[in-house]
Amino acid sequence: MTTVGQLIFSGLLIGSIYALMSMGLTLIFGVLRIVNFAHGEFLMIAMYGAWAMTRYLGLNPYIAVAAVVPAMFLFGGVIYRLIISPGLDKPHLVVVFATMGLAILMQNIALMLFSADLFDVAPLLGGRSFIIGPFYAKAELLIGFAVAVACTIALRFMLQATFLGKAIRATVQDGEAAMLMGIPVPRIFLITFAGGSALVGLAACVMMPLFSVFPTVGLNFVLIAFVIVVLGGMGSVEGALIGGICIGVVQSISSYYVAAAYGQMFFFILFLLVMIFRPAGLLGRRGEATIGIND
Amino acid sequence: MDGVPIAAERPLSRWRLMPERGTLSLFELLLALLCVVLAVLGLSQNVQDVLIQTFLWAGLALAWNVAGGYAGLISFGHASFFGVGAYTSTILLVNYGLTPWIGLWLGGLLAAVVAGALTLICARLRGPFFILSTLAVAEVFRIAALNWASLTGGAEGFAILPTPSVFRMVFVSKTTYATLFLGYLVTVYCITKVLEGSRYGLQLFAVRDDEDAASAAGVNPLLARTGAMCLSAFLTAIGGSLFAQYFLFLDPTHVFSPELSFQFALLPALGGLATAIGPVLGAFVITPLSEMLRSYFGGGAAGLHLAIYGTVLVVVMLYFPGGIAAALAQLAGGHVKGAS
């Protein structure tokens, strides 16, 4: 019983970190209606950024947030201007393939700069674990969980209560009407894309003490992020948190009881089952997956 | 609806310079001739190796294009069909002594069945949702192949004994391979050409562009899509079997990899979607180019050729969405029909 409890608890923590990593993706999809296939590579460069700050400036990854997050915000803005915005009025294929090209480009620039070696940072507090009730947890996982939950609440508050959030929601509801009401829709898109990228930067700093970084690390994580985002309902922030936790728990339990290698297979099957029976995801808007998007 | 506008647009002269839907052009004939000459010329081993890979990739890009271009079913999971084809013929050959000349058809059929099931399952999904589902299916196959070691050899891979014999479809001469792979490319090309001029091809275009209007006109969208996906998977799987017979080694992390799936999709996207010549041009430009860059820069700048490839892809998609085929047609003063 305690084993199962511990597995669920660990899954919950790791899942919340996966959720944090997926939030930018779901936010961008929800507003711009595009899937950024370079999302994993955004995570990869942000992880390299956090690693470099730790390695060369002697900071710890959590302090690196102060530099990585604004840098990723700027990077997202530049990418939006250069690649996303010119592709928005074209068939959705264009953005799919253009972001894919961007992903290949970023992966291979990282390969040239950093080689294929794995880099990681020393565990915080000497890798100590904490005891919470009957369970054990690594400090990094607990911090990740706290950040993910805080981030979800902050995002929801931002979308619900601030002027920017209202403008974003208006854009999602009806872009044309929003534009007629004086909302600068292209700027909302820009801010959302840059903000989504900044969220990936935050996730990267939280993940750096837990995972190694290498040029193709993005592919592993982006597949998980896609599953989470679809599971939770594309565009739903709370959905991403719930989806992430589901995936974390499924992965944790199946890798203990079946085999670690099959852990991933279970969540891809879970993903396909969701697609078959509830394509809108847990909290997504009904019919979203079955009507044409952006074309 | 019976193809009236199409008949009205038939060219006056029989041979056109640039490729067009449904008719053969001078350009295509010359390209085919060039390929035959290159294949039988007996060039150096390295050049022939590039040639063989180019033919294979062109065939695979065409196969992907049947679903992705003509039917609008963008799949990032074609590695699963490729892998099913490669493993089926190889397992039948190594474990049961069945000649790949038969095994490759069985692999193709199996892949078509998988593709049919996938399309029926994902039939409701559109856009990114369909793309991500195909990606997930390929991942399930990859992990299964990696862990089902008793069948696939697992992570250690699966080798075919390099004893040359026609029965085992293993040859010493690269010229034989080049001819065989060119045969594959020409066959897939002809199928594509027939498809795009046929009634069924028009139905696919109709379903892709406006499903409601197509079903109002009496086309069954589900049937049309499933058929395209099955055909595409069948042709991809045959390419997979040929791949296995040339490289004589299968590794699940490569054969079922997402990177491979992406490559199947990117070549037609670069060359020109929903045209017959586009995927061929994409493969003919990209495959030799990346091989050349790879050997030229060697290990010193690992990844440079792919970085260039990524940049080209971004630029082409944003500024020449019709791909190489459309750009070439513009140069020649004509126009390629069918590019979306």
Residues with pLDDT less than 50, chain B: 1-13, 337-340
In DSSP terms, A138 is beta-bridged to A129
Smallest CA–CA separation between A37 and chain B, in Å? 10
Q: Indicate which of A33, A89, A104, A109 best probes the interface with B, i.e. most B CBs within 10 Å of its own CB.
A: A104
Q: Is residue A292 part of a domain?
A: no
Domain total for chain A?
1
Q: Which two tokens stand for residue A137?
A: 């947890």
Comparing CB atoms, the residue among B124, B136, B258 nearest residue A271 is: B136
Q: Which helix (H) or strand (E) holds B141?
A: helix B127-147
Q: Is residue A69 part of a domain?
A: yes
Distance separating the N- and C-terminal Cα atoms of chain B: 21
Report the candidate in B247, B246, B252, B278 with the shortest Cα–Cα distance to residue B265. B278
CB contact under 8 A, B307 and A112: yes
CB contact under 8 A, B139 and A98: no
Question: Which residues, 6+ apart, have CB-to-CB distance to A30 below 8 Å?
Answer: A172, A234, A235, A236
Residue A253 domain boundaries: 2-277
d(CA A271, CA A227): 6
In DSSP terms, A136 is beta-bridged to A131
Q: Which two tokens stand for residue B239?
A: 């390419």
CB contact under 8 A, B303 and A112: yes
d(CA B263, CA B248): 21
Q: What is the mean pLDDT of chain A?
A: 86
Query: Residue A122: left if φ>0, alpha if ψ -120 to 50, beta else—which one?
Result: beta
For B302, nearest residue in chain A (alpha carbons): A112
DSSP code, position B203: H
Residue range A88-144, pLDDT digits in tens? 888 878 898 999 999 999 999 999 888 888 988 877 666 677 787 778 888 888 889
Q: Is residue A295 part of a domain?
A: no
pTM of the entire structure?
0.87
Q: Is residue A111 part of a domain?
A: yes
d(CA B40, CA B38): 6
Comparing CB atoms, the residue among A101, A227, A261 nearest residue B310 is: A101
Q: Quick check: B301 contacting A, CB < 8 Å?
A: yes
CB contact under 8 A, B262 and A100: yes
Comparing CB atoms, the residue among A98, A227, A290 nearest residue B314 is: A98
d(CA B52, CA B56): 6
Which chain A residues are Cβ-neighbours of B75 within 8 angstroms? none
Which chain B residues are Cβ-neighbours of A232 within 8 angstroms? none
Smallest CA–CA separation between A150 and chain B, in Å? 29
Distances, alpha carbon A36 to alpha carbons A92, A101, A188, B98, B275, in Å? 11, 11, 17, 45, 26
DSSP code, position A136: E
CB contact under 8 A, B310 and A268: no
CATH number of the domain at A141, please: 1.10.3470
Cβ pairs A/B, distance under 8 A: 149
CB contact under 8 A, B132 and A106: no
Residue range A202-244, pLDDT digits in tens? 999 999 988 999 998 998 898 889 888 888 887 788 889 999 9
CB contact under 8 A, B317 and A112: no
Q: Quick check: B311 contacting A, CB < 8 Å?
A: yes
Q: Is residue B2 part of a domain?
A: no
Residue B153 domain boundaries: 20-331
The reply to whether ipTM tops 0.90 is no
Q: What is the dihedral of CA B201, B203, B204, B209, to 10 degrees?
A: 130
CB contact under 8 A, B303 and A109: yes
CB contact under 8 A, B128 and A293: yes
Which three-class secondary structure state does DSSP give residue A91?
Answer: coil
Q: Is residue B336 part of a domain?
A: no
Residue range A186-206, pLDDT digits in tens? 999 999 999 999 999 999 999
Question: Which residues, 6+ apart, have CB-to-CB distance to A165 below 8 Å?
Answer: A157, A158, A159
Comparing CB atoms, the residue among B131, B301, B313 nearest residue A101 is: B313
In DSSP terms, B25 is beta-bridged to B16
Which chain A residues are Cβ-neighbours of B147 within 8 angstroms? 259, 261-262, 265
Q: Is residue A193 part of a domain?
A: yes
DSSP code, position B154: G
Smallest CA–CA separation between B177 and chain A, in Å? 31
CB contact under 8 A, A87 and B135: no
- DSSP letters, B257-317, are -HHHHHHHHHHHHHH-TT-SHHHHHHHHHHHHHHHHHHHHHGGGGTTHHHHHHHHHHHHHH
Strands (E), chain B: 158-159, 249-250
Domain total for chain B?
1
List B residues 68-97 in contact with A (Cβ-Cβ < 8 A).
74
Smallest CA–CA separation between B265 and chain A, in Å? 9
Comparing CB atoms, the residue among B121, B125, B340 nearest residue A289 is: B125
Which chain B residues are Cβ-neighbours of A96 within 8 angstroms? 74, 128, 131
Smallest CA–CA separation between B313 and chain A, in Å? 5
CB A27 within 8 A of CB A237: yes
Which three-class secondary structure state does DSSP give residue A137?
Answer: strand
Which chain A residues are Cβ-neighbours of B266 within 8 angstroms? 97, 100-101
Q: Is residue A289 part of a domain?
A: no
Smallest CA–CA separation between B17 and chain A, in Å? 29
Smallest CA–CA separation between A89 and chain B, in Å? 11
- The confidence score (pLDDT) of residue B298 equals 64
CB contact under 8 A, A289 and B126: yes
For A264, nearest residue in chain B (alpha carbons): B143
CB contact under 8 A, A102 and B304: no
Distances, alpha carbon B41 to alpha carbons A50, A291, B36, B125, B244, in Å? 55, 52, 8, 48, 24
Residue range A62-84, pLDDT digits in tens? 888 999 999 999 999 999 999 99
CB A207 within 8 A of CB A214: no
Comparing CB atoms, the residue among B125, B126, B306 nearest residue A104 is: B306
Q: Quick check: B128 contacting A, CB < 8 Å?
A: yes
CB contact under 8 A, B307 and A261: no
Q: Quick check: B124 contacting A, CB < 8 Å?
A: yes
Which chain A residues are Cβ-neighbours of B148 within 8 angstroms? none
Burial class (CB in 10 A: 0-12, 13-18, 19+), A160: exposed
Q: Which helix (H) or strand (E) holds B235?
A: helix B221-247
Q: Quick check: B212 contacting A, CB < 8 Å?
A: no
